[in-house]
Amino acid sequence: MDHTAETRTAAERASTQAPDVSQARLLSVLDTAVDGIIVIDELGRILVYNRACERLFGYTAEEMIGRNVKAIMPRRYADAHDDYLSSYRHTGVARIIGIGREVEGQHKDGAVFPLDLSVGEAQTPDGRQFIGILRDARPRAEYEQRVAELQTELLHMARVSAMDEMGSAIAHELNQPLTAAILYLQAASRRFKSISAEPDEMVLEVVGKAMREAERAASIIQRMRGFIEKREPKRKRCTVSGLLDESLELALVGSKGRRIEVVRSIDADVPEIEVDPIQIEQILVNLIRNAAEVLVDREEQRIEISAGLYEDRVRLSVADTGPGIPAEAVPDLFKAFSSNKRSGLGLGLAISRSIAQNHGGDLSVDPGGGGRGACFRLDLPVGTGDDDATDDNRPETP
């Protein structure tokens, strides 16, 4: 037997199979690569286009092989690309070969998106070829944007935290001169009545109005102080009407010049609820103020507040005549830092829902739209506290 011939045949057979095996391995690497890989020739024609590129750009390999790579570039890149290749062929001066940079790609549907691109060069029997490695930069860009937003919000929170520390002291300091003003007005009224058998009614009326306004200002400061003080929840039985009275007065401070119509409706069978009044007022104030904000520049400015029994709970609803909430904003509405407002932390609704759930209830929304405004629904369990619990939610005036 001619072993030499047999060996030569096996070697020849291996040599003919080796390129096929190598090519299969190369194709396997290309198809499993996470990043997009494109190989082009000196004229910009695509020779290799892997599956990651198909996902990135929406074109299949069959659609792209042989086409100019400009097909996946926005116009501002595409117009200069052929000139760049021509200049490199003649001068040998490279701009991006051997380095990485951020560029833009264009999807089949026309969408333009950021890409991290690195380019290498290879000399082959078929001429010079360029290998591009592409990675979708959108996740990184979104992450960097989110980090920047969070840094801004953290700075804002630092300022809010500083104000929180100052708030109680400021309220205390303001309370003292208001208390003094009320006492002076009371003394002036008594003195004026004692020295005159027929005191001027107009003067007494003016002094009385001034005293009532000072007492009202002191009451508002006391309630604002209760909002910002850190304390454990204190639940007691409260009437819904009492909670709404307190909340409306606080929520509409600063809105007297506006023509907002507030319509209240409380069903006769609504029972008392056992809650921390300060915390529930915090929810209602937030909902009412949000409703008032969306009504700015609206033809019809009306807030409808209703309360009634819903299954085994008391439901308080705050609806407005605004434009409603966009569908894309609803999923993130109760998430922290998701506000679209120019000011604010986007924490109000997140905290409000947390308070409601800690009370055994919930806060939900009907986003409205199509000519209807949004409606927020606060569900709370019916009160089961002691019969001697009081409903005095109002802080004492000094």
Read off the CATH number of the domain in which 205 is found.
1.10.287.130
DSSP 142: H
Q: Look at residues 136, 155, 181 and tell me which one is the last residue of a structural domain.
A: 136
**What is the residue range of 212's domain?**
140-230
Rounded average pLDDT over 71-93? 79
Q: Are residues 341 and 258 in the same domain?
A: yes
Q: Are residues 239 and 224 in the same domain?
A: no
Q: Are residues 44 and 160 in the same domain?
A: no
Rounded average pLDDT over 311-319? 93
- Split at pLDDT 50, 70, 90, the class of 299 is confident
Q: Are residues 225 and 265 in the same domain?
A: no
DSSP 74: -
15 occurs within a structural domain = no
Q: pLDDT higher for 278 or 24?
A: 278
Q: Are residues 160 and 113 in the same domain?
A: no
Q: Are residues 284 and 351 in the same domain?
A: yes
Q: Is the pLDDT of residue 14 over 80?
A: no
pTM (predicted TM-score): 0.47
Q: Look at residues 230, 253, 269 and tell me which one is the last residue of a structural domain.
A: 230
Q: Are residues 300 and 395 in the same domain?
A: yes
User: What pLDDT was estimated at residue 52?
Assistant: 93
User: What pLDDT was estimated at residue 190?
Assistant: 85
- List the structure tokens of 145: 């944007």
DSSP structure string for 197-255: SS--HHHHHHHHHHHHHHHHHHHHHHHHHHHHS------EEE-HHHHHHHHHHHHTTT-
Percent of the chain scored above 70 by pLDDT? 77
Q: Are residues 251 and 199 in the same domain?
A: no
Q: CA neighbours within 13 Å on the CB side: how many for 268?
A: 0
Read off the CATH number of the domain in which 296 is found.
3.30.565.10
DSSP 94: -
Residue 103, SS3? strand
Q: Are residues 245 and 219 in the same domain?
A: no
- Split at pLDDT 50, 70, 90, the class of 1 is very low
7 occurs within a structural domain = no
List all residues 6 or more positions away from 227 whose beta carbon is below 8 Å from its beta carbon. Answer: 278, 281, 282
Q: Are residues 150 and 116 in the same domain?
A: no
User: Do residues 40 and 129 touch, judged by C-beta distance below 8 A?
Assistant: yes
Number of domains in the chain: 3
166 occurs within a structural domain = yes
1 occurs within a structural domain = no
* pLDDT, tens digit, 9 for 90 and up, residues 22-67: 667 777 778 888 899 999 998 889 999 999 999 999 999 999 999 9
Q: Among 182-196, 349-363, 377-391, which is the least confidently predicted range?
A: 377-391
Q: Are residues 69 and 129 in the same domain?
A: yes
